[in-house]
Structures are given as C-alpha cells and as structure tokens.
Amino acid sequence: MEAAFETLRANGFAGTSARSIARVGSFNQALIFYHFGSVNDLLIAALDWSAKQRMTRYREALTGIDDLPRLMDAAASLYKEDAESGHTTVLAELFAASLAVPALAAQLTARMEPWIAFTEELLRKFFGRLPLAGLVDVRAAAQATLAMYLGIDLLVHADGDRSRADSVFEEARRLGGAFHSLLEGT
C-alpha cells in the first residue's frame, strides 16, 4: 500500500500502473493482483491506509478544542500536514480519475462518509451553542465544509498555488474569531 500511495503521489493516476507500483516497492507486480484483485482496488486500499492515519491525527489534534479561532488554526495546520504527507495529492488524483472510472466514484463517495460524520460532529459542538442552532442543517454544513476542502485542494493541485489554501484558512480564522465573540457574548 505504501508503494501504491507513493507511486500515485509522485506519478499521478495516469502514471500509476502495476509495473510502476511494483518498481517503487521492489516486488513482483503479480502480488498486486493476488492480494488486491486490481490496481484500482490497491489504490483505494492505499487511500484507506492514509485516511486512517489522517483521521487518527485529526481526532488527536482537535480533541479538547472549544473555541473557533483555535479550531481554524488547527484545521489549517492539519491541511498543511495533509498536503505535505501526500494525502491531498492522492485524494485529488483519485477524485479526478473517478470522473472517467465510475467504480472509483462510488468507492470515494463511501469513503467520504466518515469525514462528513466527523465534520458534522465538530460543527454540532459549535453550532449547538448558537441561539438559532436549530436553523442550521449541520449535515449540509458538514458536506459543504468537506466540499470546500476538496475544492480548494483541487485548485491548489491544478496550479500549485498554495496561497489559495492559506487565504481560505486565514478568512476562516477571521470569521471564527467573529463567531467566537458571538458565542461567548463578548
């Protein structure tokens, strides 16, 4: 899985094959088909491997945060870690490939559900403190948050301009500070 992850990160979906993965991992390419059935199934397993690590890291980093400015700072830091680890590249490559490979699209959609649920859990914690909390569809807000994350990531990958993500997180920090003031009544 590590070889598949690294190959996809370095070569993109179009440059990832059983042969290229086996070369990176120094093993016989037949092992891919024996253990995973197909290259695409191996790539999904590699995403699962990375996502499990990232989810553990997100839970660890966000536990105990109870104010929006700190949450926005932590989210920006986690996004940077995602980018540096290659997780966002692998995710972007698989989402782009899913436009041409419908089976990948279904698998990716299923794999986004834990992230939507996690984001929904975080948002409930903060929206629940608002006077008009009942007016917020938290699930839709969680889906919008994940869509924003994926969208900004695709833009960054399209042109390599990481300042886009920095600008989004800076604005989120600013808005988080304003909402924090409302929540705290200051």
Convert the pLDDT of each residue in 47-100 to its tens digit. Answer: 999 999 999 999 999 998 888 788 888 988 999 999 899 999 999 999 999 999
The pLDDT value given to residue 33: 97
Q: Which has the higher per-residue pLDDT, 181 or 183?
A: 181
The answer to which of 16-20, 93-97, 171-175 has the lowest mean pLDDT is 171-175
Count of helix runs (H) and strand runs (E) in the chain = 9, 0
| Length of the chain in terms of residues written | 186
In angstroms, the CA 63 to CA 156 distance is 28
At 31, the pLDDT band (50, 70, 90 cuts) reads: very high
Convert the pLDDT of each residue in 103-159 to its tens digit. Answer: 999 999 999 999 999 999 988 887 776 666 677 788 999 999 898 888 888 888 788
The pLDDT value given to residue 23: 97
In angstroms, the CA 3 to CA 131 distance is 50
The pLDDT value given to residue 132: 65
Q: Is pLDDT at 7 greater than 70 in this prediction?
A: yes
HSE-up (13 A, CA, CB side) for residue 139: 3
Residue 71: which of 159, 184, 152, 172 has the closest Cα? 172
The pLDDT value given to residue 41: 97
Mean pLDDT for the chain overall? 89
In angstroms, the CA 176 to CA 4 distance is 38
At 180, the pLDDT band (50, 70, 90 cuts) reads: low
93 to 14, 56, 70, 104, 155: CA distances (angstroms) = 9, 22, 30, 11, 12
Domains of the chain in sequence order: 47-184 (1.10.357)
Q: Is pLDDT at 164 greater than 90 in this prediction?
A: no
The pLDDT value given to residue 157: 78
The sign of the torsion formed by the CA atoms of 176, 84, 53, 89 equals positive
Burial of 37 (0-12, 13-18, 19+ CB in 10 A): exposed
